[in-house]
Amino acid sequence: MNELQKVSIIIPCFNDAEFIEQSVQSAQDQTYENKEIIVVNDGSNDETKAVLERLESKITLLITQENKGTSAARNTGIEAASGEYILVLDSDDYFEPEFCEKAIEIFEKDFETKMVTSYGQRFREDPFGPTIKPGGGDLKNFLFRNASLGTMFRLQDWIVVGGYDEKMKLGFEDWEFYIRLHENGGKTYVIPEVLFFYRHKENSRTQNANLHKYELLSYIYKKHQNLFKDHFELFIDSLLSKLRKEEDQKIRIRNKIEFRLGEKFLKPVRFIKSWLNKSYL
């Protein structure tokens, strides 16, 4: 393995005192030896600051800045990186120890690979949630959904596309970055093993992003309108497929026994209410 190829593991952190230690340990435990760990404290509270100070011996570089959002924190960490490869790790998630080693092997075999990701698992306290299998692939796969999980990419590619969009403070910033990363070719390779663990918690960035879903989608569609125009038929097919799935889900809910029982119970109540309303006319 080429020792000149360093991996910079970037961990942005905002008020994550409870979980940041596990993420840092995950970075430190990577079997790929030529690595550095950069943590960006993005305006965290005193509790988180205290934990980061305690972990400083395990961190190559700790950067503290005022709160600017996830995109800005990632960019800050990557700007300070000295590695040829970048692995972005959120402060409440973690990787299996062999992820970096397996990802580097893939990059070295195929220069067309823009990113490497893997199967993942959602968890709360214990990693027993469903296995997530991202699609990976080329631009077409990323235009309509985020087809990756925790990822590694080349520093040079991050430079070429201009880093993460710091205007996107509400979420989906990783997906938008991946679109630009694949815009001029290349693909994402998915390691068919569960090597990434995604923590599911209340008030997560993903949940908050879903609250602003349509606003964020509008921003992405308009920013990359030329790409969507070039793939208009695929865009329409994807949109209709989502609408069809939503409609099918509504039908399944209507057909549930609980729903049918509720309808039977409410029918006489509605009749009485209607009769009373007519009586007052």
Q: What is the domain extent for residue 44?
A: 7-224
Task: Tell me: do 164 and 196 sit in the same domain.
Answer: yes
Task: Tell me: do 110 and 162 sit in the same domain.
Answer: yes
Task: Tell me: do 68 and 198 sit in the same domain.
Answer: yes
Question: How many domains are contained in the chain?
Answer: 2
Residue 145 belongs to some domain of the structure: yes
Cα three-residue angle 112-77-109, rounded to 5 degrees: 20
Task: Tell me: do 201 and 73 sit in the same domain.
Answer: yes
| pLDDT of the residue at 130 | 85
| pLDDT of the residue at 143 | 94
| pLDDT of the residue at 278 | 58
pLDDT tens string, the chain, 281 residues long: the values are 446 699 999 999 999 999 999 999 999 999 999 999 999 999 999 999 999 999 999 999 999 999 999 999 999 999 999 999 999 999 999 999 999 999 999 999 999 999 999 999 988 766 667 899 999 999 999 999 999 999 999 999 999 999 999 999 999 999 999 999 999 999 999 999 999 999 876 665 666 777 889 999 999 999 999 999 999 998 898 889 888 888 888 888 877 755 665 666 666 766 666 666 655 54
Task: Tell me: do 80 and 194 sit in the same domain.
Answer: yes
Task: Tell me: do 14 and 41 sit in the same domain.
Answer: yes
Residue 232 belongs to some domain of the structure: no
